[in-house]
């Protein structure tokens, strides 16, 4: 893991020393060393967390004649095989790092980006032509943000805070994006490519940006297209998935520094632990978060049992911290409002793990790849209803849990055979009713629509309902939620997270599986449970599914109360330029808002207030 930052500043000459201080705004992403390339109004820099080729992996990395350069954040997991093929073509390597693979591959052909298997966000600079290319990985594991104002600035960074620093140095004002706030209170995060600032965008996964000093051009080099399902039996599917998942784990075990694993009581991280320990004979140290004061959220007993079962050492990391202090720290770490409460323990466990290792494996993405959420049970049953367009339901039935009078949904639910408490559907995570939105914001919301966001995820009329819902989860909830959370949490502690379930080859293969291989009756992640059930403790396979949760309701009513009172009294805050005072007051004093999850909505508003307070400072 590293952090990259660069700019083209034709009218704002800054000293080399000034630029190095700008690069240090992302120091935490790479505390081991820094690298720079400054020429012809281009300022390119990076901070390195050394994991592969500790002595020879300095950046920028150049090709043989120094005409091409790369600044790289991430890992190319298949770099060893690519090195061999590039050497066969006559390329001369000065290191054994994956970064050098990039520069030699792309100087041959930019289309070689499709050969890379990994997580990445990097800049490729053609020095003679003065053309800069940015690439982001297919799934979006690694972030990349940019700003372009013709004739004034082009800049990019692994984090928005880097662009804030550059814009401040260049005298460019950043303005708050009303659309971002509108969607943030609907989804608890800001949907990419928009950001909290009008001027800053996220480069989307699987995209390539080209900058030539005058214009930018963005093209999509990879896109998932819905494909007919494989015509294979269940045993063949099991063999396929086991082979690909084992290979994915094996590729991610390559490291020149100590590695560990975030082990919960759940299935996904336990599978990764099993494959690493038993199939690949790797002795990983595992880390499990503990909630000593809130046993209902504690999974240490199950995780410890799993670790011992697999012969692994398990380190219990008890979260003994001040919730209010942690909340304040969260807001300083995340560049823009981000309202997943599990970011708090994610940051804390990353800090604790950094005392032992530089790299951690995790089970992220297993739910999205293999249908692990309970709402997929209904989605799989809807597959069997003739003439049912999954996408149209996704688009038209927002907030089904809160719109119980929608006749179509009622008629559909009657056909599923599920109990009332099991009738959930993966449509959106919109926390607000449209009727409430009219009374919340201090700006015109008529031009914004959550349905416009949803419409970006149409797989087409031929897609099964479960595939449509999972596609939405992978490309919206995963991208804007889990991936943002874990990248910022781990990088804040200067460690790298690796997610075997988010391998692009595994993604493509798992997408071809028939729905009934993933969900069978009320059994989610069916194929994974059938594959690994005999190798893991009973509780892991058959226990109640838990998210990475915190005692949010308790914290809102107790520990966070001083901050809530401050927010309600702080009428001069710019925060109230965007939200109505009455809405904020009523939100914390009554139950009048029929939110999908009122506590999450309250937490989202509190985080937004803290972001504005941070910006004031």
What's the CA gap between 446 and 24, in Å, rounded? Answer: 41
The encoded tokens of residue 603 equal 């937490």
User: Is 98 annotated among the ligand-binding residues?
Assistant: yes
CA max distance for the chain = 71
Nearest to 244 by CA among 529, 503, 535: 503
CB atoms within 10 A of CB 145: 26
Query: Do 422 and 390 touch, CB atoms closer than 8 A?
Result: no
Query: Do 35 and 46 touch, CB atoms closer than 8 A?
Result: yes
CB atoms within 10 A of CB 389: 16
What's the CA gap between 609 and 617, in Å, rounded? Answer: 13
Pick the catalytic residue from 1, 2, 139, 249.
2
What's the CA gap between 362 and 496, in Å, rounded? Answer: 11
Contacts of residue 16, defined as CB under 8 A and 6 or more positions apart, other chains included, come to 36, 38
Contacts of residue 140, defined as CB under 8 A and 6 or more positions apart, other chains included, come to 192, 204, 205, 206, 479, 483
The encoded tokens of residue 481 equal 């939620």
The encoded tokens of residue 518 equal 């993933």
Q: Tokens 């209010």 — which residue?
A: 324
Nearest to 192 by CA among 183, 202, 200: 202
Handedness of CA 460, 461, 463, 467 (dihedral sign): positive
CB atoms within 10 A of CB 567: 23
Query: Do 130 and 212 touch, CB atoms closer than 8 A?
Result: yes
User: Is 473 annotated among the ligand-binding residues?
Assistant: no
The encoded tokens of residue 223 equal 């896109």
The strands making up 153-157's β-sheet, listed across from edge to edge, are 33-39, 42-48, 2-8, 153-157, 145-149, 200-202
Measured in Å, how far apart are the chain's first and last C-alpha atoms?
29
Q: Tokens 């949904």 — which residue?
A: 409
What's the CA gap between 81 and 86, in Å, rounded? Answer: 9
The burial of 424, by beta-carbon neighbours within 10 Å (0-12 exposed, 13-18 middle, 19 or more buried), is given as: middle
Q: Tokens 């109505």 — which residue?
A: 580
Contacts of residue 420, defined as CB under 8 A and 6 or more positions apart, other chains included, come to none
CA angle, 235 as apex, 234 and 241 as ends, to 5°?
A: 85
**For the chain, how many residues are written?**
617
- The 3-class secondary structure across 312-373, one letter per residue, is CEEEEEECCCCHHHHHHHHHHHCCCCCCCCCHHHHHHHHHHHCCCCCEEECCCCHHHHHCCC
Residue 2 annotated as catalytic? yes
Positions marked catalytic: 2
Per the annotation, binding residues are: 98, 289
Annotated binding residues for ATP, written as ranges, equal: 289
Binding-site residues for L-glutamine sit at: 98
């Amino acid at each position: 893991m590293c952090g990259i930052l660069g700019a083209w500043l034709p009218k704002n000459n800054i000293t080399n020393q000034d630029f190095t201080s700008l690069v240090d705004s992302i120091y935490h992403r790479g505390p081991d060393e820094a690298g720079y390339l400054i020429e012809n109004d281009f300022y390119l820099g990076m901070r390195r967390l050394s994991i592969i080729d500790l002595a020879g992996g300095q950046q920028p990395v150049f090709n043989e004649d120094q005409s091409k350069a790369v600044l790289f954040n991430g890992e190319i997991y298949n770099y060893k095989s690519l090195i061999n093929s590039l050497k066969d073509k006559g390329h001369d390597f000065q290191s054994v790092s994956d970064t050098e693979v990039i520069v030699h591959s792309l100087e041959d052909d930019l289309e070689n980006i499709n050969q890379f298997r990994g997580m990445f966000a990097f800049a490729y600079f053609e020095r003679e032509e003065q053309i800069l290319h940015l690439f982001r990985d297919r799934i979006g594991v690694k972030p990349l943000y940019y700003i372009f104002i013709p004739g004034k600035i082009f800049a990019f960074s692994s984090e928005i805070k880097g662009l804030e620093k550059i814009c401040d140095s260049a005298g460019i004002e950043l303005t708050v994006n009303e659309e971002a706030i509108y969607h943030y209170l609907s989804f608890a995060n800001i949907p990419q490519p928009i950001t909290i600032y009008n001027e800053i965008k996220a480069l989307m996964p699987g995209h390539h940006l080209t900058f030539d000093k005058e214009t930018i051009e963005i093209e999509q080099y990879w896109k998932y297209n819905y494909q007919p399902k494989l015509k294979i039996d269940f045993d063949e599917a099991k063999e396929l998935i086991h082979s690909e998942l084992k290979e994915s784990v094996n590729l991610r075990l390559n490291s020149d520094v100590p590695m560990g694993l975030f082990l919960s009581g759940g299935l996904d991280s336990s599978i990764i632990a099993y494959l690493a320990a038993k199939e690949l004979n790797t002795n990983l140290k595992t880390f499990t978060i503990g909630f000593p004061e809130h046993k209902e959220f504690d999974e240490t007993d199950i995780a410890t049992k799993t670790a011992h079962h697999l012969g692994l050492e398990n380190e219990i990391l008890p979260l003994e911290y001040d919730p209010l202090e942690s909340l304040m720290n969260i807001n300083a770490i995340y560049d823009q409002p981000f309202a997943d409460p599990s970011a708090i323990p994610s940051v804390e466990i990353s800090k604790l793990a950094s005392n032992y290792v530089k790299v951690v494996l995790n089970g992220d993405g297993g739910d999205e790849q293999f249908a692990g959420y309970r709402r997929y049970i209904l989605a799989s049953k809807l597959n069997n209803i003739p003439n049912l367009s999954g996408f149209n339901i996704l688009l038209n039935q927002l907030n089904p849990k809160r719109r119980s009078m929608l006749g179509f949904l009622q008629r559909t639910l009657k056909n599923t055979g599920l109990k009332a408490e099991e009738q959930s559907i993966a449509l959106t995570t919109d926390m607000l009713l449209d009727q409430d939105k009219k009374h919340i914001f201090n700006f015109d919301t008529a031009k914004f629509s959550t349905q416009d966001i949803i419409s970006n995820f149409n797989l087409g009329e031929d897609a099964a309902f479960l595939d449509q819902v999972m596609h939405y989860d992978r490309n919206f909830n995963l991208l804007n939620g889990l991936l943002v959370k874990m990248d910022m949490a781990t990088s804040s502690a200067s460690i790298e997270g690796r997610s075997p379930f988010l391998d692009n080859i595994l993604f493509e293969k798992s997408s071809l599986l028939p729905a009934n291989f993933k969900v069978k009756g009320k059994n989610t992640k069916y194929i994974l449970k059938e594959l690994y059930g005999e190798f893991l403790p009973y509780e892991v396979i058959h226990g109640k599914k838990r998210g990475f949760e915190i005692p949010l309701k308790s914290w809102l009513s107790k520990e966070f109360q001083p901050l809530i009172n401050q927010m309600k009294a702080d009428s001069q805050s710019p925060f109230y330029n965007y939200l109505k005072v009455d809405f904020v007051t009523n939100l914390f004093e009554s139950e009048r808002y029929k939110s999908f999850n009122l506590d999450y909505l309250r937490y989202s508003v509190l985080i937004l207030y803290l972001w504005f307070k941070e910006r004031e400072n």
